[in-house]
């Protein structure tokens, strides 16, 4: 009787270790990797820019009470004369020149229990003003982000959007 019990116990131990030794732990590079997912313009001039991400050490976001901007984008519009995309630039009074406008947002996540662990997911950024005038009908964006360690993600260019 005891030998049958030990045979079954040994069998279950071997099966248990056999199954769990095949499970591989997910790993990602510690530098964040992002990709474009979707763009949803709303009535008015706000829009949601959605992206996918992976990060090997889970430090992709700042705490919810922090206002440090870690997501940056540059907005491009189609010039109707040249039919080329141009970065939107603003006049800088202190330098006296036009400079490309880069807009930053803080990417926050509600829980930091993932810190130190590989994570992946989706982020939605609400762009408060996705174009400088409603006359602009074709836009695209170039964006990147920084994690808490200062690692810069890849730079992504969105597809071109025709908005009304």
Q: Could you read off the pLDDT of 43-57 as tens digits, one per residue?
A: 878 999 999 999 998
Q: Please check whether residue 131 lies inside any domain of the structure.
A: yes
Question: Is 13 domain-assigned?
Answer: no
CA atoms within 13 A on the CB side of 163: 25
Q: What is the pLDDT of residue 162?
A: 92
Q: What angle do CA 86, 87, 88 make, to 5 degrees?
A: 110
User: Which single residue is written with the structure tokens 């807009």?
Assistant: 103
Residue 3: inside a domain: no
Asked whether residue 2 is assigned to any structural domain, the reply reads no
> pLDDT confidence of 122, banded at 50, 70, 90?
very high
Q: Which residues pair with 125 in a beta bridge?
A: 49
Joined together, the tokens standing for residue 164 give: 């009304």
CATH of the domain at 114: 2.60.40
Domain presence at residue 20:
no
Judge whether 25 lies within some domain. no
For residue 139, pLDDT beyond 90: yes
Q: What pLDDT, in 10s, does the model give residues 64-99?
A: 787 889 999 999 999 989 999 999 998 888 888 888
Q: Can you give the residue range of the structural domain that contains 131?
A: 33-162
116 in a structural domain: yes
- In the predicted structure, residue 61 carries a pLDDT above the cut 90: no
Per-residue confidence (pLDDT) for residue 72, from 0 to 100: 94
- How many structural domains comprise the chain? 1
Radius of gyration of the chain (CA): 24
19: in domain: no
Q: How far apart are CA 45 and CA 147, in angstroms?
A: 28
């Amino acid at each position: 009787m005891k030998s049958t019990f030990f045979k079954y116990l040994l069998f279950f131990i071997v099966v248990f270790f056999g199954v769990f030794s095949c499970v591989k732990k997910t790993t990602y590079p510690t530098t964040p990797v992002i990709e474009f997912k979707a763009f949803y313009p709303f009535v008015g001039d706000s829009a949601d820019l959605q992206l996918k991400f992976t990060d090997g050490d889970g430090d992709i976001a700042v705490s919810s009470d922090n206002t440090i901007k870690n997501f940056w984008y540059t907005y491009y519009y189609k010039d109707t004369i040249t039919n080329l995309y141009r970065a939107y630039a603003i006049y800088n009074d202190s330098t006296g020149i036009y400079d490309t406008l880069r807009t930053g947002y803080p990417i926050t996540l509600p829980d930091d229990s993932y810190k130190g662990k590989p994570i992946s997911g989706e982020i939605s950024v609400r762009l408060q003003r996705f174009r400088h005038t409603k006359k602009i009908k074709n836009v695209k964006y170039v964006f990147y982000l920084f994690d808490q360690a200062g690692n810069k993600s890849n730079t992504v260019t969105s597809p071109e959007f025709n908005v009304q």
